[in-house]
Amino acid sequence: MASTHQLKVQDIFSVKDYVCLVTGGGTGIGLMATQALAANGAKVYITGRRMEVLENAAKTHDPSGGGQIIPVGPCDVTSKSELEKLIKDIESKEKYLNLLITNAGVSGPKAPPDSSSATELQDKIWHGESVEDWGDVMKTNVTSVYFSTLAFLPLLQASIGDKFAPRSPSVIVISSMSGIMRESQGHFAYNAAKGATVHLSKLMSAEFEKAEVRVNSIAPGYFPSEMTMKGSDEDNKSRMPSEKVQEKGHVPAQRPGSDEEMAQAVIFLTKNMYVNGEVIAVDGGTLNTVPGR
């Protein structure tokens, strides 16, 4: 039983001395997660395809004192050979990982199904999407999540019983509210892929429980990122005006999610060892108004 003084936020949510890896950690939600962990004492390795972006994130957002942000790679997480190189790189620096966040993703083609004519629907979507587009979206948003998690299972398990125990190694899969809703939003490939990512996280949570590695998922709503805003500033941050969210007409919060709100979800799933196999929607209430599963 805990005494009252043992339940201080700075104690129960501290990730001091944790060792973490975030894929796609240089921008968007990956950077928000990275900042949250580093601000609370963790050593956070970030990887992605663009080394200059990773280096800028580390330089611009590294906290003063305590945690660290360290770029590694570059790494294309859709490639097993590049993942193997990344494993060796991390293993040369660390004996274990406490947390892996699989965040890398792409949006894919857009072809809104906005006609009641089957012929018009077919023509618009048929010419707006390709089999290759679907393959790329699935490979980045689903397949890479699976193989990235597999790649680092041994390093995650190696953290069990370290001198800072008790800790529970875990994976946080960044999925999307788009993988839970029944509307395509004109992104059939993306929403189908994120639906697969949601289910994949559940499969991995059940099967990798044997290795004592927890797997949970965060399903974000509208958060500013390079994917949603088509770019970022000199500090690797994207800006999303509230008006852009309000015009969608289905977000009760009437604004995008904040860095702080994503940080809260990340730290909660990292620290709560009694949560496994969950998908937490951080969506401003969108799934209360848009049909879901």
Contacts (Cβ under 8 Å, ≥6 apart) of 43: 17, 18, 19, 20, 67, 68, 70
Is 80 exceeded by the pLDDT of residue 42? yes
CA–CA distance from 150 to each of 33, 72, 87, 166, 237 (Å)? 21, 18, 11, 23, 30
Position 166 confidence tier, pLDDT thresholds 50, 70, 90: low
Total structural domains within the chain? 1
Determine the pLDDT at residue 164: 54
Determine the pLDDT at residue 59: 93
For the segment 182-193, the average pLDDT, to the nearest whole number, is 90
For the segment 33-50, the average pLDDT, to the nearest whole number, is 96
- Percent share of the chain, pLDDT over 70: 98
CATH number at residue 68: 3.40.50.720
Q: Is residue 82 in some structural domain?
A: yes
Total count of residues recorded for the chain: 293
For the segment 237-258, the average pLDDT, to the nearest whole number, is 92
Q: Is residue 116 in some structural domain?
A: yes
Determine the pLDDT at residue 111: 81
Is 80 exceeded by the pLDDT of residue 127? yes
Give me the torsion for CA of 176, 178, 180, 182, rounded to 10°: 180
Q: Is residue 9 in some structural domain?
A: no
- Which pTM does this prediction carry? 0.94
Q: Is residue 74 in some structural domain?
A: yes
Comparing 202 with 239, the larger pLDDT belongs to 202
Q: Is residue 7 in some structural domain?
A: no
For the segment 90-119, the average pLDDT, to the nearest whole number, is 91
Position 136 confidence tier, pLDDT thresholds 50, 70, 90: very high
Is the Cβ–Cβ distance between 169 and 197 less than 8 Å?
no
**Domain range for 61:** 15-286
Determine the pLDDT at residue 163: 58
Among 56-70, 210-224, 267-281, the range scoring the smallest mean pLDDT is: 56-70
Is 90 exceeded by the pLDDT of residue 230? no
Q: Is residue 10 in some structural domain?
A: no
Is 80 exceeded by the pLDDT of residue 13? yes
Determine the pLDDT at residue 278: 97
Determine the pLDDT at residue 210: 94
For the segment 199-219, the average pLDDT, to the nearest whole number, is 97
Give the helix ranges, DSSP H, for 186-256: 188-207, 226-229, 242-246
Q: Is residue 4 in some structural domain?
A: no
The residues annotated with a catalytic role in the active site are 175, 190, 194
Q: Is residue 6 in some structural domain?
A: no
For the segment 120-141, the average pLDDT, to the nearest whole number, is 91
For the segment 209-213, the average pLDDT, to the nearest whole number, is 95
Q: Over the range 250-289, which residues count as b (16 or more CB within 10 Å of their CB) and which as e?
A: ebebeebbebebbbebbbebbbbeebbeebbbbbbebbee
Position 179 confidence tier, pLDDT thresholds 50, 70, 90: very high
Is the Cβ–Cβ distance between 254 and 248 less than 8 Å?
no
Mean pLDDT of the chain: 92
Determine the pLDDT at residue 72: 96
Determine the pLDDT at residue 153: 97
Beta bridge partners of 19: 43
